[in-house]
Amino acid sequence: MGNKMISDETKQIILKLQQNEVTEQAIYYNLSKRVKKESEKKILKRIGDEEGSHSEIWFKYTNKKLKPQKLKVYFYLLLSILLGYTFVIKIMEKGEEDAQDVYSRLAQEVPEAQEIYEDEQKHEQALIALLDEERLQYVGSMVLGLNDALVELTGTLAGLSFALQDNKLVALSGLITGISATLSMASSEYLSARSEGNQNAKKSALYTGIMYIFAVFLLVLPYLLLPGKQYIFALITMLAIVVLIIFAFTYYISVAKDLPFKKRFLEMAGISLSVAALSFIVGILVKHFLGIDI
């Protein structure tokens, strides 16, 4: 078939698509080697095989054998270790969804283009829906731990910032409160899961505790690093970290679980910042009415 009947511009577009398919094939094969469940391995390898078959179709038009982009393969492998393979796959597939216009234009010169696009959207999406990554089974526990930590600790640190006006004292109080709350929250999640007959209650408690202590460390960090009397700057930095954590976690969940991003982000950020503002006012009032001067 060769390059017959296609323009140079179309050939360049096909080369990019072919490179993408070859690279994603390598990514799927790498992911299949990492997962433990045999059913997951087969699904990931099957998707990789389909990416390879698509690259072979493009090869008929380019006559060029391409190799995977190693840097991209390693990047996604690292990302899968940190955030899970479901997140990585959804990110890659979103990129293909955005290519609809490209495939539509190609279909005018390359008959197989529309067929490949439909295959990507239907068959591969059906296979991806069969994936059941363990960490995503505990999203509820993760959300519980993170939400509770952000709301409770943001309010506590904001109130203590003005009441104590010393970063080291705020950090000390925040760490004691945060660690105690982590143990309490994890225990409560364990008992709640057990009462519901959840056989994985320990893992639910573990995910809740991990997310809680992770938030505690990041929120207390500005008070540990900044000079003692710069408590206002530490408070502002802490609030910025809160927004960044909410943004990152909400984006992760929205991609991995196909949930709306904007509404969930604004809701979480609004609650946390509102609690912080109210707690800061409480700190001012307590300091004033009790007449405590530290």
pLDDT in tens, 200-237: 788 778 888 888 888 889 999 999 999 888 888 998 99
How many angstroms separate the CA atoms of 227 and 229, rounded? 6
Residues 6+ apart with CB under 8 A from 147: 268
Model's pTM, two decimal places?
0.68
- No. of H helices and E strands in the chain? 12, 0
Q: What is the pLDDT of residues 23-80, one digit of tens each?
A: 989 999 998 888 888 887 888 888 888 888 888 888 888 888 899 999 999 999 888 8
Query: Which of 12-21, 127-136, 181-190, 265-274 shows the lowest mean pLDDT across its residues?
Result: 127-136
Distances (CA, A) of 85 to 27, 46, 212: 10, 15, 23
How many angstroms separate the CA atoms of 269 and 264, rounded? 9
| Cα torsion through 129, 130, 133, 136, rounded to 10 | 40
